[in-house]
Amino acid sequence: MDTVIRKISQDITQQEYEYIKEAGEIIRAGGLVAFPTETVYGLGGNALDKNASARIYAAKGRPSDNPLIVHISDMDMLDELAKDIPEQAYALATLFWPGPLTIVLKKKDIIPDETTGGLDTVAIRMPDNDIALSFIKEAKVPIAAPSANLSGRPSTTTALHVWDDLSGRIDMILDGGAVDIGVESTIVDLTDEEPVILRPGYVNEDMLKQVCDTVLRDQTLDDMTRTDIKPKAPGMKYRHYAPTGELVIVSGDAHKTVEKINELARQHDESVTAVVTTEENKDLYNYGKVICIGTRKDPLSISHSLYDVLRQMDDYGMKYIYMEAFYDNVLGDAIMNRLKKASGGHIIYV
């Protein structure tokens, strides 16, 4: 299959809108289109068509028990897809949609089991990106979309990343440039008594508390060593976002972190060893390929580049990758969650 790329600017010219309509037609005909959102690129298909969902799993090489997020462009679609919707869901949607928040609700029968990996719940979100919203509107159906990467690889934050992973496997890529946030949406489950965060993202616990009195966290988020409990988001059980080389995260006092990373890096051949750091520390490393991911003053600069940097590690053939931990009040939870997954839980505390 030939994969067509259509460049779309954020203002969306008339000609570009025609391409978006073309993408909508592909969806209605059962095809697959990758599209930008504010978090990462999505790999879209018709959420109401079980064959389209099957094609998404096949294109990604993803296990079919891992449900897809359903993307909508207006609030009416929410009531068509979910039932027994609690007031809290409307309150969260009003505050955060369009935006990087996914809400898990009880599903209506209109959504095939293939889309939700056999679950009786559905994860729904309205993305904050005009290209994505126009695309969903023109498709005239809700769009099931996982992140547009091959299963296990880092998510995609540019059209080029999507091309690298999925060209020849999907019909079209809408190229809207680099995404803003760079890590996937927060997932909150509202099907129990209390809201539960299943995956941390840009909308953090404090922000959710503007609407919810209590917010719980899926137990497996804070203790990856627990094998006796399953994460409630099936996708969270897989190793994820991972570069091919060995990734180790070093966490703790800034000075000791630099010392430890320099020591660890020196144990390997310099040509296949990388250090991932920030503006603040970049001059303190003197061995291996030193990559600056952003500045600690702006957590978004780090989340924005995270997957690009992890992908570069593969492009450069790096076998040993040492990376500083990133904690901050806003995005620290989301970034560290991805780094824990990408490193297979390999964190050294200094």
The site for Mg ion, by CB under 5 A, has a size of 1
Q: Which of residues 130-169 bind Mg ion (CB under 5 A)?
A: 147
* Smallest distance from ligand TXA to CB 125, Å: 6
Are the beta carbons of 132 and 217 closer than 8 angstroms?
Answer: no
Nearer to Mg ion by Cβ, of 152 and 317: the residue is 152
* Smallest distance from ligand TXA to CB 149, Å: 8
* Smallest distance from Mg ion to CB 147, Å: 3
* Smallest distance from Mg ion to CB 160, Å: 18
Nearer to ligand TXA by Cβ, of 84 and 280: the residue is 84
* Smallest distance from ligand TXA to CB 235, Å: 2
Nearer to ligand TXA by Cβ, of 147 and 303: the residue is 147
Neighbours of 141 (CB within 10 A): 18
Instruction: Select from ligand TXA, Mg ion, none the partner in contact with residue 198, using the beta carbon and a kind-dependent cut-off of 5 to 8 Å.
Output: ligand TXA
Nearer to ligand TXA by Cβ, of 65 and 270: the residue is 65
Per-residue interface string for the shown chain with Mg ion, residues 236-275, x marking contact by CB under 5 A: ----------------------------------------
Chain residues binding ligand TXA by CB under 6 A are 37, 39-40, 42, 66-69, 102, 104, 116, 119, 121-123, 125, 127, 145-147, 184-185, 187, 198, 232-236
Instruction: Select from ligand TXA, Mg ion, none the partner in contact with residue 123, using the beta carbon and a kind-dependent cut-off of 5 to 8 Å.
Output: ligand TXA
- Mind spelling out the 3-state secondary structure of the chain? CCCEEEECCCCCCHHHHHHHHHHHHHHHCCCCEEECCCCCCEEEEECCCHHHHHHHHHHHCCCCCCCCEEECCCHHHHHHHEECCCHHHHHHHHHHCCCCEEEEEEECCCCCCCCCCCCCEEEEECCCCHHHHHHHHHHCCCEECCECCCCCCCCCCCHHHHHHHHCCCCCEEEECCCCCCCCCCEEEECCCCCCEEEECCCCCHHHHCCCCCCCEECHHHHCCCCCCCCCCCHHHHCCCCCCCCEEEEEECCHHHHHHHHHHHHCCCCHHHEEEEECCCCHHHCCCCEEEECCCCCCHHHHHHHHHHHHHHHHHCCCCEEEEECCCCCCCHHHHHHHHHHHCCCCEEEC
* Smallest distance from Mg ion to CB 240, Å: 7
Report the alpha-carbon distance of residue 123 to residue 189 in Å, rounded.
8
* Smallest distance from Mg ion to CB 60, Å: 8
Instruction: Select from Mg ion, ligand TXA, none the partner in contact with residue 301, using the beta carbon and a kind-dependent cut-off of 5 to 8 Å.
Output: none
Measured from each CB, the residue nearest to ligand TXA is 235
Binding of Mg ion at residue 102 (CB under 5 A)?
no
Nearer to ligand TXA by Cβ, of 196 and 248: the residue is 196
- Residues lying near Mg ion in the complex (CB under 5 A) are found at 147
